[in-house]
Each structure stands twice: as structure tokens, then as C-alpha cells.
Amino acid sequence: MKISIIIPVLNESGTIAAALTRLKEPGEADPPEIIVSDGGSVDGTPEAAQNLADNVIRAGRPGRARQMHEGALAAAGELLLFLHADTRLPGNWRKVLEEAWRGRPRPAAAAFRLRFDSDSWFYRIIARAAAWRSRMTGVPLGDQAIAVLREDYFQVGGFPPVPLMEEYFLITKLRRLGPVLILPEAAVTSSRRYEKNGRVFQVLRNAFITVLFYAGVPPRMLAKIYQ
């Protein structure tokens, strides 16, 4: 199964080279296609990614939904894996995904279990809370690396051009095609946003935004509140 990894970025020059290097296995017979979709970085991120990615797309304006959709349009893989630049996949990620799509019923999407790059009790609790939220809503977070067949992605229209909560819109549409799997293997995401914004503030803001989303507040308004 040919896999395309699509990474939306904005000013990630300090992390992108390491992120892309982790995805390359020397001597791999059928390496994944790596697409970096840049939202207008001013710190040299596209240049840092140029020699490590198969394709660097300049989306022009920031917005993960738009950037990931443009990456999907350029992808050649049968399976699309949307990966944040600060998230690390498990070592056996490819085997796990291929086995998921060999199973029955065929999933409409799959994502990894969430874990943070800190052993702090605080982040262990946040990861468990995220797992609970995913069970309740049926929607994995973007930090969990969402995978979907290319044909299914375009059948439901892909990511809509929304400024926030894009995974909720996509997964809601994909659930009509089959189950959404949360894989037991963990993707490890950075705790940097929590450390930068304040741990408690980040948790409360995320929870507040989710509640407002389900209350029907438009994504554009949610983005203003989030910012």
C-alpha cells in the first residue's frame, strides 16, 4: 500500500528537519511519499524541508485544513496520513496501518493513541482525557495522526476550509463509510503548546472550544476565541 504523509507547517524551521528524517528508513523498498504543506512560513521552513520531503507545497495562507487538503490534492498514495510536525509516529506505524486496512470491516479512518513527550502526571491525565473524549465523540484529535484512504477522503469532500476543528468535520463525514479506529500504538506529540500557553489555560480553552462547537458556534467565531 502506497502511503502519502501530509504535514502542515507554519514556522517550524527548528523542528521540521528532524521530523522528516524520522520518517525515512534507509533502504526501504517502498518509502512513503512525504508532502510538506507550508502556510506562509517566514523562518525558512520550506527551504529546510526542501531536500528531505518529496514535495513542498506553498499553500500561501495559514490554516491546517486548507494546507492538508492541498497536500491531499498533490498526493499519489493510496492511503493519506495527516501528521503534525511535532508528533512522532510509533516505530511500527506502517505495519499497524496496513493491518488495519486488511481487517474487516474496513475502517473509514484510523488514528493512533495519544501520548505526550513528557512523563509528567499532568500529561498522562490529559492523554487519558483525550482518549475519553475520542470515545465519547468518535473523533480523534489531529495530534493522533489521522489516516484515511485517498478515495474515501475525496468521496466525502476532504477537509473543509474551516479555521478550526477540521478533524471533527472530516471524521463526521467519514463515519458514514465505516468505523473510525483508535489504534493501541501511541503517537507521541509535543507538550510545547501547553508549556507556552500555560497548562491549565490550554486544557480549559480546549474544553471550552469543544463545548462551543457542539453548541453550534461557527468555526470562524471559535477561531477568534481560540486566538
3-state secondary structure (DSSP) of residue 12: coil
| Residue 130 confidence (pLDDT) above 70 | yes
Q: What is the mean predicted confidence (pLDDT) over 150-162? A: 96
Find, among 173, 179, 180, 116, the residue nearest to 146 by Cα. Answer: 180
pLDDT at 27: 64
The CATH number of residue 34's host domain is 3.90.550.10
Q: What is the mean predicted confidence (pLDDT) over 78-101? A: 95
Q: What is the mean predicted confidence (pLDDT) over 55-60? A: 90
Tell me if 24 sits within 8 A of 32, measured CB to CB. Answer: no
Show the domain range for 222: 3-226
What's the CA gap between 18 and 53, in Å, rounded? 12
Domain count, the chain: 1
What's the CA gap between 54 and 34, in Å, rounded? 5
Q: What is the pLDDT of residues 177-218, one digit of tens each?
A: 999 999 999 999 999 888 888 888 988 998 899 899 989 999
